[in-house]
Structures are given as structure tokens and as C-alpha cells.
Amino acid sequence: MMDVLPYVVAAWIFLAGLYGIVTSRNLIHLVTCLAVVQSSTYLVLLSVGYKKGGEPPVFADRPPSPRAVDPVVQALTLTDVVVGTTVTAMLLAIAVQAHKRYGSLDPDEIRSLRG
Amino acid sequence: MPSLAPLTVVIPLLAAASLVGAVAIAPRLFIDTLSIAVAAAVAVLAASLLHASGSDTLVYWFGGWEPRDGVAIGVSFAIDPLGAGLATFIAVLFVVAFVFAYRYFRVVGPLFHVLMLVFLAGAMGFCLTGDLFNLFVFLELVSVSAYALTAYDIEEEGPLTGTLNFAVTNSVGAALVLIGIALLYARTGALNLAQIGDALAGRSPDGLVIGAFTFLTVGFFTKAAVVPFHFWLADAYSVAPTPVCLLLSAAMSELGLYAFARVYWTVFAGTLSGAEEAITLLLLAAGAVTAVVGAVMCFSQRHLKRMLAFATVSHVGLYLLGIALLDPEGLAGAAVYVIADGAVKASLFVGVGVIQHRYGTVDELALRGRGRDLRPTGVLITIGGLALASLPGFGPFLGKSIIEESASTAGHGWVAVVLVVCSALTGGAVLRSAARIFLGWGDPDEPPDDFSMPGKEVDPEEQYPHDRVPLPMTVAAVALLAGGLLIGLTPGLPADAIAAATRFTDRPAYVATVLHAHPAPVTAATFDGPAPRDWLFATLSTLGAIALAVRSLWRGRIRDTLRGPPGHMLRAALVALRALHSGHVGDYVTWVVVGTVIFGGIWAATLG
């Protein structure tokens, strides 16, 4: 049960973020929900590499431990955080611009493309 | 030779970084020259990789971390002709896009070039990499620079919503890809494509593998704009600056499909080999629906860029039909078609850019008859429209013929019908607008329907109309169109493409080359040339395009002439389809979820 729990939580976070995006009436809220969706992937990655009673994957200045958690997924998570932050920052800039232009952050009020 | 491969990524990144540093002092001419030179250098490098990979797959291990006892430790590039070919094509497109942008923007900050160069670096790494996580990172590098480029005219209203829809939908897709990668890593402990495939091969697929396959497929299809993940594409393309449209249309979707093909054949082909029939059927269905939806939407647009955007969606469906057959011939047909069709679509975008540059609008109805003094552009767009409609003998025709032959061998002869109908609709839409704009044909008082995007936007970079078409624009358009058409006349191209696709789809050989440094087996193939029926299909779709164009010009829009109960139903379906493209990002993400459930559900039921 405890093995599955992190994945259940990740799925919950993912779906909660999606629900937020789908129903959002505010661009800042929408962008934050996207960040929530992305953060579920961090949890999946870290759960994949975790071991019960694991130790930090530090191999210098100490004898290598067989219980060290997987360092690869941590590197992947870090890369993913960078990607996610880039997208979030850019979308927030767009939200600011939208507010300047329309005085509104409601995606329904600013949409100009359809059909 | 393989040791030069990383330069295709390093050179544009270094150039981008130094341009950022030189923002304040670099003159415009220097920035443009440097960008063109960098893109040209990368194109030459990629072309030499393409040449060198013809005899054997090139493998480059970063930092010299070569595999030990068949286990990959480091990160690699694994370069075969299909990947190198796509890289070469994209690099050449960048040269053209930079040449075009030189006169397109009167005032442009160097950040435009910086973003373009980052896009180029990402695309090169993406085509050459042999590592699943690097594939993801390069794809995100491409995507993020594409978001920023789409939003380049940030002061306008369109780019805000277009970019928002583009970035949010694609980021959700990227999260799905990453979850798929995490699941594969959990199962195999590997990120190297060959290594993952080797670990999975021969085992029957369980829920985790099917889940990973679903997430990766759906994520890549979101980038590729396969229905129902395609909604963002038209919004993004109709607002992006034209030089960016050219790249998005000819490179972005293709990268998504390339990623699917690469991951399917290196990772999943070994474990899902028993279920090829089921995979083919679902992919064929997705391809056909994408092709038809894109073509119908394309034909009902009056905003020229949006029209070409939906033509792109439709043709993504046609490429997918080739890939879906899961055999070397279908894949080779898709590859030839991607290059030829991509070049033609890019030249059409340049043509639309010329119209925009000259008249300050891209609205077909508003432009009626105004193009009479722009005859050369009219001729160019007409030829482009005919090429989209599969003008017999030329590039797109050749690609489609190979797909048709492969499909009929596999017993899916109906694929040819989809190809003919969708080619006729997309080509017909282009021909219709060319006739309306350059010859003044059609009803002068045609009322716009409720949905049509008027496309009245004034060129944001160029606030005034111009008298002359700048030479670089003409050169760019003619070069692209000629390339796309003449590639169909290259002798031996189909056979080479099939041989390359045979190596691309040979998973055990890929593993042996990447992990054990065995030379790739020599693959040779023959292609007898398009069969008589392919010439017939191409003639049908070309004539069909002309007929559709003429009919819609003189008899009113199709949906107004639909009569009787079946006509009403069709008309209602058309209105409903257009209403689905709501421009609301929440709706688009809902469709991504729906599509994920459909793909996952069907595959869980059929692959297990």
C-alpha cells in the first residue's frame, strides 16, 4: 500500500491541476494550475527512484552505501523543474500583458480566436 | 564524422548566447548575416551527417562514456538517415526563414534571432539523439522557444491568446511525455532508447508498459497536432509572425510524429510486436479523422494563415496514415511526403507573408481582386495549391504514392481515398483564395459566416503597405516551392528512403549498433515507381481541387448549398465542428484528457 501511495498522490495532483486549468476563470490561477500539473511529474520521478530507508546519493568522502536512492531521477527532476519554471515565467508575462491590454484576466474575455 | 555531430547543437547555442551579449552594439545587418551563416553551417553539417549515415548508423557518446558490456552508461547521439534527413531539412528551412525575416521585419530586436537559434539547436539535438530523456529536453527547448516566438508581437491581441492556448496545451502534453518516461525508467532503469527497448523486448506488455506507451503517444501527438489534440495549432499559427509560421508548419508537427516513430520502433516494437494490427487500426483511424477534420476546417477559413494552419493539421493526419502502417515502405512514404509537402507549405506561408507585407491583411474576402498587380506571387501560390493537391509527378505526389502502395499491400486500400479527398480539399482551399485574390473571381458580396476569422490584423511589424516585393522574399518562396516539387524527380529517392526506413524500423540492429558497436546491416530496397492507379488518384485529387475551388467561388459556400435532410445534417455537423474550435484553453485541455482516455482505453483493451 505504501508503495503505491506516492503514485496515487501524483495522479491526484495531476488531475487536480487539470481540473483547475479546465475550469479556470483567471489567467494567474490557470498558470499556477499548470505548475501544479507539472509538479505531479516531480513526485512520480522521485517516487521511482526512492528506496525504503534510503540515504542521499552522495558518493564522495564516504563509503558508497547500497541504500543510496537513485540519483538519476533527481537530475531528471531538476531538469524538469527548470523547464517548468521557464514555461510558468513566460505565461505569467503573457498574463501581465493581457491584463494591461484588456484590464481582465478572464480567459473568456480575452479570447479572440475561434472557428 | 560522428564527433562533429554535437556541433549542430553547440554552434547555434553559442551564436544565440553571443547575440544576447551583443544586443546593444550589434547592427541589424550583422545579426541577420550571422544567423543566416549559422543556419547554413548547421545545414551543411547535417547534410554531411546524412551522407555519412547512409552506410552505417553513427553513434557518438558524450564524454567518451561508451557502453560497458552492452549497458549504456552515458548519453548518446545515434544518427541514421531519417533523423539526419529531417535535421537537414529543418536546418535548410531555417536558412530560408532567416532570409525571409531579413525583409519581413522592418524593426526587429536581436532576441528574435536568439530564439530562432535556440529553436534550431533544440530541433537538431532532437533529430539526432539516442536518449529518451534528452529527446524530452530537446523537445521542450524547441517548444519553449516556439511559444516565445509565437508571442513575439506581444502588443497585439491575437498572439496573447494564441500563445496561451499553444503553451498550456503543449505543456500538459509534455507532462504526459515525462510521466511516460518515468514509467519506462521505473520498469527498465534505463533512458537510452536502445537499452530500454532491449530490456522490454520479448516480454509481454503489462499495464505499466501500456500506460507508458499511451502517455508518450498522447504527449507526442499533442505536439504533432493529431485530432483531438490539435486545437492549439490553428490559434498559434494564425498569430505567429510569418517566418515563425513557416518553421512551425514544416517542422513542429513533424518533430512530434518523428518522436512517436522513433520511440515506437526503438522502445516498444519488441514488446508490442504481437499487437501490431491493433496499433495500426487505431493510428489509421486517428490519421484519417485528423486528415478529414483538418481538410474540412481548412476549406471553411477565410483567414489565410489559419487556412494553411488547418492544411497542416490535415497533412499531419496524412503523414500519420503512412506511419500507422508500421512498415518501412509506409514510413518512407511519410518521410518523403513530410519533406516535399513541408517545403511547399513553407513556400505558401512565404506567399501569404508577401501578401501581408504588401496589403497589410490576410483576409481572403477583403483581398478580393486586390492582387492583380502581384501576378508572380499569384502564380506561386497557385502552383503551391496544385502541389498540395498532389500534382502528378512532383514531390508530394511521390510521397503519397509510396504510402498508397504500402497501404494497398497491407489491405487498407481505403487510405488512398482519404488521401485523395483531403488533398483535394486543402489544395482547393488554396486555389480558391488564389483565384479570388489574384484574379478577382467569385461573388463580390459574399457574406462572411458566423465563425470566420476575418483576419483583418494589420502586419504588426510593418504598419504601412508596400509597393515592391523585396527580392529575398521572392527568392525564399521560389526556392522552397522548387525544392518541394523537384524532390519528386530525384532518381533513386524512394528506394533510398525505403532502405533508410528499413534500418529505422530494425530494432535489433539498432540495439546492436548502439550498445555493441556492430555495424548496421546493409539495407537495400527497390521501388518500381508509382503505379498507374497512383497517377489516377493524383489526377483525381488535382482535378477535384480545381473543381472545388471553382464551385465554391461561383456557387456560394458549400454549407449554404447543402440541401435535403442529409444536407442539413452535414451542415449541422460542420457548424458543430467549427464551434468546437472555441479558442478556450480549458476546452482544449479537456480534449487532451478525452483523447488520452480514448487511446489508453483502446490500448488497454487490445494490447494486453
Give the model confidence (pLDDT) of B417-459 as tens digits.
Answer: 999 999 999 999 999 999 988 888 877 766 666 555 555 454 4
Q: What is the mean pLDDT of each run of 10 residues along chain B (608 residues)?
A: 90 93 80 93 96 91 91 92 96 92 74 93 96 95 94 78 92 96 93 94 90 96 94 90 89 94 95 90 96 93 91 96 95 95 93 86 85 86 93 90 93 93 94 90 68 53 59 86 89 91 93 91 84 92 92 68 74 87 90 95 89
* Set of chain A residues whose Cβ sits within 8 Å of the Cβ of B583: 111-114
Identify the closest residue of chain B to A31 by CA–CA distance: B168
Using CA of residue B262, residue B263, residue B264, residue B269, what is the dihedral sign?
positive
User: Is the separation of the CB atoms in B113 and B149 below 8 Å?
Assistant: no
ipTM for the assembly: 0.94
Angle between helices B395-409 and B304-324 (to 10 degrees): 40
Instruction: List phi, psi (to 5°) of B363.
Output: -95, 120
Are the Cβ atoms of A111 and B584 closer than 8 angstroms?
Answer: yes
* Set of chain B residues whose Cβ sits within 8 Å of the Cβ of A21: 168, 172, 585-586, 589
* Set of chain A residues whose Cβ sits within 8 Å of the Cβ of B582: 111, 114
* Set of chain A residues whose Cβ sits within 8 Å of the Cβ of B303: none
Q: What 8-state DSSP symbol labels residue B327?
A: S
Which residue in A48, A84, A86 is closest to B182 by CB distance? A48
pLDDT in tens, A28-54: 999 999 999 999 999 999 999 888 888
| C-alpha distance from A62 to closest chain B C-alpha (Å) | 23
Residue B283: helix, strand or coil by DSSP?
Answer: helix
Distance separating alpha carbons of residues B281 and A8, to the nearest angstrom: 32
Residue B466: which of B97, B107, B154, B106 has the closest Cα? B106
Distance separating alpha carbons of residues B172 and A3, to the nearest angstrom: 26
Using CA of residue B21, residue B23, residue B25, residue B27, what is the dihedral sign?
positive
- The enclosing domain of A81 has a CATH number of 1.10.287.3510
A-facing residues of B in 138-177 (CB < 8 A) are 140, 144, 147-148, 151, 154-155, 157-158, 160-165, 167-168, 171-172, 174-175
- CB under 8 Å to B540, separation ≥6 — which residues? B420, B424
- CB under 8 Å to B142, separation ≥6 — which residues? B119, B122, B123, B126, B252, B255
Distance separating alpha carbons of residues B354 and B470, to the nearest angstrom: 9
| C-alpha distance from A61 to closest chain B C-alpha (Å) | 23
> What residues make up the domain containing A74?
5-114
Identify the closest residue of chain B to A100 by CA–CA distance: B155
Residue environment code for B258-295, b if the CB has 16+ CB neighbours within 10 A, otherwise e:
bbbbbbbbbbbbbbbeebeeebbebbbebbbbbbbbbb
| C-alpha distance from B278 to closest chain A C-alpha (Å) | 27
Tally of domains within chain A: 1
pTM: 0.94
